[in-house]
Structure 1
């Protein structure tokens, strides 16, 4: 177990060590991106309003303002709580921007402009700045000013339609998939802009819109017949409609014979070699033409053995298959336990908490977890001091509620 409450600071070891990021994001999309930047070594300064990121109270908590979702996407960050609408708050931001390499925000562009910190104003303060903004909708379209959250984008992109097709009505994925996919796209865009800056010395504006990002993600396989002009059939990816949990004698299994060799091996080991020829499984074109019958035959056959028996047979024949993990059991999955995917950490105020480690592996510059998610305004005083604000000025801002700091520990 890594004890991040130890008084000895843990040094960054990731490939982005030395990079400095100003995090003006909230909820999930932006913080998910900036946490990965922090995991990979960047110094991240999270700016919140004095009332805090609304996701601080999303999920399970021991103490209000430090809920499980917030803990899961805000480690490896220092936090400052300040009213950016106040003259003093704006001055803090003006002093911070020249000290960072990247500014990441999911405040709508009009809101940033009203604060006086649009892309041009920020790059006037720091010409090398990478200004990365996540929007709900691209700023050159008619929906540019509309608010957007995960379900809004799942609905608009066609994602909910695809998920709910089998149920006869749209259904949302029960995960913040639009936020997290866009967060990963935002991470990639930031790194690409930094690579450009490394070659040219030039910062730039980067915009990552949620609707366009999720639509592009979905269209890879689901554009289908719409990929051709004139269209050549329906949209959607027919094969996925038939991929369902296969019944077994004692539950269900995911059986996914993929290649012609897989299908032949499956029907042979199931003692139904006649179906190899009847269903033409060795010919991908003919197999796909009657995929309904192929999957129906597989479901009928799978019900004759237990899940464990199928898993053993599939392993012997190298056929992709797995059992189902209940979400309550994921932390005990044998592979995830072996790679130590989940670790316990000591949080200074929340006690012992469990979280997934950074999954990406860098051989020479490993990602690491150096600090737990901060309390609201935990580092306000220290950061303002680094920016040259006097103790009296900090106390005055605190008294006038321009900034927020947590109470001093006894």
Structure 2
């Protein structure tokens, strides 16, 4: 086997970040991903930088291990071709808005009638069960609505986005996991089902794990918000010549650090030693860290904190990561020759399986690259049971 999902076929009607990340994750684990695109392609194809039109860097990093076919689902012949693909599929993944799918007759209720084993995964901005159903949503919108932008900008005086498409990627990973669970359940029941992954609800749940804080209790003991991560002094600390990330976490960490740093009066403070008291006044302790760390060089702090087993790390840029010795040792970055884009560097597959590892079998496709191959494949594919149960 080339991966734990070898033999699973996925029809991928997704665009931009969330859906393509989910399906690429499945493809990395051996699934056969057929990416169905509009005639002008996934909009992420056009995101700069790129060497050639429709082959932007972000698209390349979200669409490996996929084959591409372009179809106009409003045309009867293209829709028929699409339905033929679904007849042989295990999973259908889409982030097309549900109302548009219903107009095309591609909703779960319609499609599952003749495909009872199909797992139908909808990646929506908002759950179909609530009043926001069908509203458009992208990563920025969900970061704003989920409380994430408010929390991120609290110490800056105005809301701020996290500088990555976090909501898209979290939802994509959640969808990949949910699809794997649905495939496992199908081995027991023999039946597919509808799986909804709504970005808004998912990111609210994700964000409020720690930030429910005092609002967890009835009545609330304090306002929502996790004090430790909201401290204005929780940040990479300026050294005398740069920055470090330093995180004494346990009482032992804090005491060892301040003793080694020449601040015994802080190391012996009862408020520091008591975890509950320290948690209530964490901003004060982070301020002490900032003042102390400013007195020595980055190299000195890295050596000292490492010697007493207190978590510390340098602050790395994306360019630094490309030369990181640990990432080089584990082979995270792959250099390949893309058929149209030439030499490229991509991230490898970080998750490993001892018996059935994933692999990168093909790089991101050109638009409609595999049309003839896909349409000419014989239908009636038989997929062996994973467990022998049906």
Indicate the TM-score class for this superposition, using the shorter chain for normalisation: over 0.9
1:335 match: 326
Q: Deviations over 1:159-214 (max 9, x none)?
A: 00000001010000111100000001111111111111011111000000000000
Residues 1:86 and 2:75 aligned together: yes
Q: What does 1:83-162 correspond to in 2, within 5 Å?
A: 83-162=72-151
Query: How far apart, in 1, do the equivalents of 2:377 and 2:334 lie?
Result: 33
1:246 match: 237
1:368 match: 359
2:387 match: none
Query: How far apart, in 2, do the equivalents of 1:379 and 1:288 lie?
Result: 57
Residues 1:267 and 2:258 aligned together: yes
Query: How far apart, in 1, do the equivalents of 2:153 and 2:79 lie?
Result: 46
Q: Secondary structure at the match of 2:41?
A: coil
1:51 match: 40
Checking the alignment, whether the CA contact within 8 Å between 2:255 and 2:268 is kept in structure 1 is no
Query: How far apart, in 2, do the equivalents of 1:146 and 1:387 lie?
Result: 39
2:160 match: 171
1:293 to 270, 284, 292: 284
Query: How far apart, in 1, do the equivalents of 2:238 and 2:323 lie?
Result: 23
Q: Deviations over 1:353-399 (max 9, x none)?
A: 100001101111111000010010001111111257xxxxxxxxxxx
With normalisation by structure 2, the TM-score equals 0.95
Checking the alignment, whether the CA contact within 8 Å between 1:37 and 1:187 is kept in structure 2 is yes
The number of residues matched between the two structures is 377
1:386 match: 377
Alpha carbons of structure 1 residues 298 and 279: separation in structure 2 relative to 1, 3 Å: farther
Query: How far apart, in 1, do the equivalents of 2:343 and 2:86 lie?
Result: 35
1:223 to 209, 212, 222: 212
Checking the alignment, whether the CA contact within 8 Å between 2:68 and 2:370 is kept in structure 1 is yes
The structural deviation recorded for 1:59 is 2.5
2:17 match: 28
Gaps of 5+ in 1: 1-11, 389-410
Query: How far apart, in 1, do the equivalents of 2:17 and 2:109 lie?
Result: 26
1:303 match: 294
Q: Deviations over 1:212-243 (max 9, x none)?
A: 00000001000111111111101100001231
Q: Secondary structure at the match of 2:86?
A: helix
Gaps of 5+ in 2: 380-390
Checking the alignment, whether the CA contact within 8 Å between 1:96 and 1:387 is kept in structure 2 is no
With normalisation by structure 1, the TM-score equals 0.90
Name segments (4+ residues, structure 1) moved above 6 Å.
Answer: none
The structural deviation recorded for 1:279 is 5.6
2:274 match: 283
Checking the alignment, whether the CA contact within 8 Å between 2:23 and 2:33 is kept in structure 1 is yes
Checking the alignment, whether the CA contact within 8 Å between 1:249 and 1:304 is kept in structure 2 is yes
Query: How far apart, in 1, do the equivalents of 2:30 and 2:303 lie?
Result: 42
Query: How far apart, in 2, do the equivalents of 1:92 and 1:290 lie?
Result: 63
Residues 1:76 and 2:68 aligned together: no
Q: What does 1:336-355 correspond to in 2, within 5 Å?
A: 336-355=327-346
Query: How far apart, in 1, do the equivalents of 2:206 and 2:324 lie?
Result: 28
Checking the alignment, whether the CA contact within 8 Å between 2:14 and 2:93 is kept in structure 1 is yes
Query: How far apart, in 2, do the equivalents of 1:292 and 1:79 lie?
Result: 52
